[in-house]
Amino acid sequence: MYNRFCKLTSGNKREMKQNYKFIISYDGTRYHGWEKKPDLEMTIQGKLEGVLNRMIGAEGTGEVNLIGAGRTDAGVHARAMTASAVLDTHLSEAEIQSYMNTYLPEDISVNEVKVCSDRFHARYNAIGKTYRYTCWYGDGKPVFDRKYVTVLDREPNVDMMRKAAELLIGEHDFRSFCGNSKMKKSTVRVLDTINIEKNGNYIRFYFHGNGFLQNMVRILTGTLLEVGYGNISPEKIQDILKACDRKKAGPTARPEGLCMMKVDY
């Protein structure tokens, strides 16, 4: 006797609703962000769900709801976005991955599919995330990286930015770094590390924390760049945090330099 999640198809194939974990990479250049929206066709979640719904077809029991670990903005990329969804299919993990990569556009890749616990939730179970923001400066142009870097008009002072970054580490109210002015939930987050690395004409910011607010990484980057340009002193970071006022922080950095690197569970 099968449990309530099992059934027999007309071909006598045993099926079961199971929860699956996906690791996904995507180039966000063409998309209006992760989150599916009724009036927008080009979203990452929308493309993935479309393929999964096509895969389960008539043998499925309802449309797929794919849950992402985060909601990246329009133009933002991901190397390892984690997502989860309950699927009703007899296909193996490898067959699901193969099907998805066959029918997804070339700028979205499913790197891993695994059956996971029924209780696993890609967003609620995440305990940490790593984002990278990449900048480039110089007299030429980063022709082959142009979709994945933000071009600066001059070189910022990396040492000054590192000094300012130290003041952002820890548990703080990051309301000044939140792009949603109507945010009603808590804006307190923990930033474990901010590493700023310079390699030739590239400057890369690595942020790791327990969670990030809307546009938070881009606003943090924009503010640190203002420190690097001498427009904000490193010591002012504490005042910006205490103000809990978006207008006190720096500009929101452009989306193309941002990439979600990893989600921790």
Any domain includes 1? no
94 lies in the same domain as 174: no
Element (H, E) at 169: none
Distance CA 13, CA 52 (A): 19
Question: Do strands 170-173 and 188-199 pair parallel, antiparallel, or not at all (unpaired)?
Answer: antiparallel
Any domain includes 241? yes
Q: Which two tokens stand for residue 95?
A: 């067959």
Any domain includes 123? no
Single out the catalytic residue among 73, 118, 153, 159. Answer: 73
CB burial of 132-150 (b: ≥16 within 10 Å; e: otherwise) equals: bbbbbbeeeebeeeeebbb
The per-residue pLDDT of the chain, averaged, comes to: 92
Position 58 pLDDT exceeds 80: no
Q: Tell me the one-letter amino acid at 86.
A: V
Predicted confidence band of residue 240 (pLDDT cuts 50, 70, 90): very high
DSSP 154: S
233 lies in the same domain as 167: yes
Q: Which two tokens stand for residue 230?
A: 């001498």
Average of per-residue pLDDT across 227-235: 98
Position 4 pLDDT exceeds 50: no
Query: How does DSSP assign 190-222, residue by residue?
Result: EEEEEEEEEETTEEEEEEEES---TTHHHHHHH
Q: What is the CATH number of the domain that holds 68?
A: 3.30.70.580
Position 77 pLDDT exceeds 60: yes
179 lies in the same domain as 223: yes
112 lies in the same domain as 132: no
Number of domains in the chain: 2
Position 72 pLDDT exceeds 90: yes
Any domain includes 94? yes
Q: Tell me which of 56-65, 106-115, 162-171, 187-196 is least confident.
A: 56-65
112 lies in the same domain as 136: no
In angstroms, the first-to-last Cα distance of the chain is: 35
Average of per-residue pLDDT across 157-163: 98
98 lies in the same domain as 147: no
Domain boundary, last residue among 55, 88, 116? 116
Domain boundary, last residue among 116, 151, 167? 116
Element (H, E) at 188: strand 188-199
Distance CA 196, CA 208 (A): 12
254 lies in the same domain as 194: yes
Any domain includes 122? no
Domain boundary, last residue among 53, 83, 116? 116
Q: What is the CATH number of the domain that holds 219?
A: 3.30.70.660
CA angle in degrees (0–180, nearest 5) for 222-196-165: 60
pLDDT digits (tens, 9 = 90+) for 167-218: 999 999 999 999 998 888 999 999 999 999 999 999 999 999 999 999 999 9
Any domain includes 121? no
pLDDT digits (tens, 9 = 90+) for 27-54: 999 999 999 988 888 999 999 999 999 9
Q: Could you identify the residue written with the tokens 């984002």?
A: 131
32 lies in the same domain as 152: no
Per cent of the chain over pLDDT 90 is: 87
Q: Please, are residues 233 and 198 in contact by the beta-carbon 8 Å criterion?
A: no
Position 7 pLDDT exceeds 90: no
DSSP 152: P
209 lies in the same domain as 139: yes
212 lies in the same domain as 98: no
Q: Please, are residues 231 and 38 in contact by the beta-carbon 8 Å criterion?
A: no
134 lies in the same domain as 260: yes
- Residue 229 marked as a ligand binder: no
Any domain includes 40? yes
76 lies in the same domain as 159: no
Answer yes or no: 192 catalytic. no
3 state SS of 55:
helix
Domain hosting 42: range is 6-116
